[in-house]
Amino acid sequence: MFTKQTIKDIDLEGKTVLLRADYNVPISNGIILDDFRISQSLPTVKFLLSKNVKLIICSHLGRPDGVKNDIDSLFPVAKKLQYFLKQPVQFVPDCLSDEVPKIITKMVPGSVLLLENLRFYAEEEQNNEEFARHLASYADIFVQDGFGVVHRAHASTSAVTHFLPSVAGLLLEKEVDTISNVMENPQRPLMAIIGGAKIADKIDILHRFIEIADVVAIGGAMANTFLASQGVKIGKSLYDEKELPIARDVIRKAGSQVKKRDFKFILPFDVVVSKEISNTQPTRIVDLKTHSYAEINNYPKRPPLNSFHILNDDIVLDVGPFSGSFIAGNIQFCKTVIWNGTMGVTEVDSLLGSVGPYSHGTDLIVKAMVGEFGNTPFSVVGGGDTVSYVTSHKLLDCFDLVSTGGGASLELMAGRRLPGVEALLNKNV
């Protein structure tokens, strides 16, 4: 259960509210390429406006490192928010000028003001008290709804709570509550599917899932490092040599869990390779004759096949059809599935259809999770590339939770405390 006060627990009527949202969205030439995070904030925004508040929204965008620039301006977000709300959204091109209080004084209840990028000020990431005090001076109440930033102790997530009554928005409540529940009290069997590039980014959740999940499946570029750690030649595929000892440690831990209980640890046993990342290059499926899955799970190794090896100039770009089908098959026996990280290079489009040349493994997982093969588990999806794949295929409504937070969701799954959540008022206060 979510233990912090939310916007439903306090009197908001007629107040001035400072809302921290996460509008860190991809923008190119002033055009928002993915408005997922903006759309997910709308229930909180609309609830606040229904209480006749003056609503001041702040957010960051990109990594400007304290330097103002046109590329990282939130002005396009103001226009998109105005489109969603079907009402004017005023935009002010800074956060600290004397004009901001004057604009707020003239605002009428039910109106919206979006401040410029918080990270145009170095004080934001420094968790500067004076910067936070200045922001707090604009409002009566602070609402934290930027789940994607609550794992950071910044001025707009931590210090600002020292100066205002601070509660959670509806999105933050939903994300923290859902993720906490699936980690602490999941319907079993529980399966975790982990992709992405670097093991180090997800080492903590890998260890935790090996301890609590019934099935853990590995894909994406990090699978290359696991395979290389077991002596598989992976050509010129992306992997991190420094992470080989980490991969071996994870595999050893997985093997020990197999001996203790009914647990599976799945590494790819076939892969899709090509000479370069392109939708016009031929691809080839390679059956990996020696792989660690059988050894980890105490299964007999498959007999040698007359398959090609991964050649020196090959790049592994997706899990193979047997691995994808095996992972999808395991999903059929699970009641809860947590998925973070695609199985291949899904950003390459197809020339012929909706599934890209290196997206077939990911596509199989999606079909299994949404019930196309029969079972429909409770599903939690996170990670930037994963969410991008889901949104681009218009599948947002097919999962129980599609998280807006990358690092925050990983920290929460790993069992760490989130500074931006810890700073909020408890329900018993």
Active-site residue numbers? 37, 198, 384, 407
- What gap in Å lies between CA 49 and CA 425, rounded to an integer? 22
- What gap in Å lies between CA 26 and CA 62, rounded to an integer? 8
The three-state secondary structure class of 58 is strand
Q: Are 283 and 317 in contact (CB under 8 A)?
A: yes
Q: Are 50 and 12 in contact (CB under 8 A)?
A: no
Bridge-based pairing state of the strands 336-340 and 378-382? parallel
User: What value does the CA radius of gyration of the chain take, rounded to a whole number of Å?
Assistant: 23
C-alpha distances in Å from residue 388, one per residue of 35, 196, 336, 345 = 10, 13, 21, 12
Q: Are 288 and 237 in contact (CB under 8 A)?
A: no
* Residue 269 main-chain phi, psi, to 5 deg: -115, 5
User: Given CA atoms 233, 239, 242, 247 in this order, what sign does their dihedral have?
Assistant: negative
Q: Which amino acid is at 301?
A: K
> What does DSSP assign to residue 129?
H
- What gap in Å lies between CA 364 and CA 46, rounded to an integer? 37
How would you classify residue 86: left for phi > 0, otherwise alpha for psi between -120 and 50, otherwise beta? left
Residue 89: strand pairing partners: 112
